[in-house]
Amino acid sequence: MNPINKTLVLLLAGGVGSRLNVLVQSRAKPAVPFGGLYRIIDFSLSNVMNSGLTQVGVLTQYKPLSLMNHLGNGAAWDLAGRSRGVKILPPRTGSQDSDWYKGTADAVRQNIDFIKAHPCQEVLILSGDHIYHMDFDQMIQAHRQKKADITIGMMVVPKEDIHQFGTGITNDEGRIVEWEEKPKIARTDLASMGIYVFDTAYLLALLAESREEVDFGMHLIPKAIQRDNVYAYRFNGYWRDVGTIQAYWQANMDILHDDSGISPEAWGIRPNVEAGNRMADRCPARFGEAAKVHNSMISAGCIINGEVINSVLSPGVVVAKGAVVRDSVLTDDCTVGEGALVDLVIMDKRVKIGRHAVVGSGDKSHVNEQHPSHLYTGITLLGKAAQIPDGAVIGRNCIIGPQRLPHDFPSLHIASGATV
C-alpha cells in the first residue's frame, strides 16, 4: 500500500454559515456556488484528489440535500471505485435534537465506527468551506517526520483578522507551546486553518477521554498542547475563509486578477459538471454585436448582448442589450433585462432583473438595517429566483429575499440598507 493511502479523510461540511445570509437559506455553506464553475466544497475535494487520498467521509448536517446531490458517488473527483469512495455521514439523530453534532470534535466522535471501519495510520480532518490549494501529502509527511500526535495547518494572517481564528505560539522546532482560540488581543499572527492531521490511535484515545468536550479548537487542541506533541505546519499559499459576504465577493474578484494567488484551473480544481444543470449540457457562451466584456469570467451557456465589467458569471446568465453588469457575482441562469444596471451585487440562482432597473445605487455608508454585520461595504444581495420589477431602483447593502416577486416590493425605490 502506498503510505499516503494510510490516511483517512474526514471533511466537515455541516456548518450553517449564517453570515452568508440568503445564500445559505436553502443549502449548506460548502454547497454555495463559487467562481462561476464551482461550489466551495470542490476546492477541498480536489485537494484530496490531487494529494492521492482515496477514502473520504463527508460529515453533513445543515440542509444537506444540495450538497449530497453535488457529491453524488464522488466520481467527479476520482473517488468512486472498489478501493476509493465518498461516504455521507449525517448526525446519528435519535429522539432528541441534542443528538445532532454539537461541534467539530463531537461530529468526529459520532463517527468513530467509520474510522474503525477504515484502518488508517492518520486521520486528516478538513473543513469543506475554504478556498485554497494544498498538497496534503507534504503535511502528512511532515507529521510523520516529527512523530507528532497532532499537526495543525497554520498560516500568517493580518493582525486585524486574527480574532476570527485559533492562534498558536510555536518554539524553534515548530511545536505549538501555547494556544488561544479567537483572542481579542493576539500575541501571534499564526492562525489555524482548521486542517488537522491526527495519529489515529491518539485521536480515538483523546475523543474517548473527553466526551463532554465538543470542539477541537476550543477544547481538545488546548488540552493536547499542554501534554502531547502538537506541531504547526506552516502554509504560505492562497487560503480564504469565505464565510462572510465581503470575503465571498472578494475571493470571486480575486479570480479575475493574475497576481491574486488564486487559480482554480491551474490548481486542478474540479467541479461536478454532471450535477444539477450547471455545465454538462450547456452550449458555448454567445456574444452579440453590441457585447462588451472587460476583465470578467463568462461561463458556458451565457448570452451577452450588453456590457460586463469586472464580474464573474456562472453558466446560463443572460445580459440583455444595453444592460451593464459591474463588479458583481451572478450565479446560474440569472437574467439582466434590457437597459438595466447591476453594480456591486451578488445574485443567487435564477434571479431576474427587470428592464431599466438599477440594482446597486446610492450611498455605501448605509449598512443593512436587519443584518448590519453581514452587509456594510456596499454589496447588495439578491436571493434565489427573486424578480426585480421593471424600472426599480435598489440601493446599496440591500437584501432581496428568495422568490420575491414584483408585487412583493413596497415601492419601486428601495433605500440603501433595506430588506425586502
| pLDDT value at residue 276 | 66
Could you write out the three-class secondary structure of 275-302? CCCCCCCCCCCEECCCCEEECCEECCCC
Q: For residue 222, what is its C-alpha cell?
A: 488546548
Alpha-carbon Rg for the chain in angstroms = 22
For 3-254, CATH number?
3.90.550.10
Residues β-bridged to residue 198: 123, 150
| pLDDT value at residue 1 | 41
* Listed residue (265, 374, 122, 303) closest to 383, CA to CA: 374
| pLDDT value at residue 162 | 86
CB 157 within 8 A of CB 189: yes
At residue 115, the 3 state secondary structure works out as helix
Q: Where are the domains of the chain?
A: 3-254, 284-414
- Assign domain 284-414 to a CATH class: mainly beta
* Listed residue (55, 22, 49) closest to 271, CA to CA: 49
CA distance 66 to 85: 19
Residues β-bridged to residue 151: 197, 231
| pLDDT value at residue 213 | 83
* Listed residue (168, 142, 141, 164) closest to 154, CA to CA: 168
Mean pLDDT by 10 residues, the chain (420 residues): 71 84 91 94 96 93 86 92 88 58 87 92 94 96 96 92 89 93 87 95 91 84 93 95 94 95 95 75 93 97 98 97 98 97 98 98 94 96 98 98 96 96
| pLDDT value at residue 7 | 95
* Listed residue (37, 23, 14, 9) closest to 280, CA to CA: 37
CA distance 348 to 8: 34
- Interval 391-414: pLDDT, tens: 999 999 999 999 999 999 999 999
| pLDDT value at residue 96 | 52
Q: Angle CA(76)–CA(241)–CA(88) in degrees, nearest 5?
A: 40
CB 213 within 8 A of CB 105: yes
Query: What does DSSP assign to residue 21?
Result: G
| pLDDT value at residue 248 | 96
CB 212 within 8 A of CB 105: no
At residue 337, the 3 state secondary structure works out as coil
Residue 239 has phi, psi (to 5 degrees) of -150, 130
CA distance 36 to 278: 10
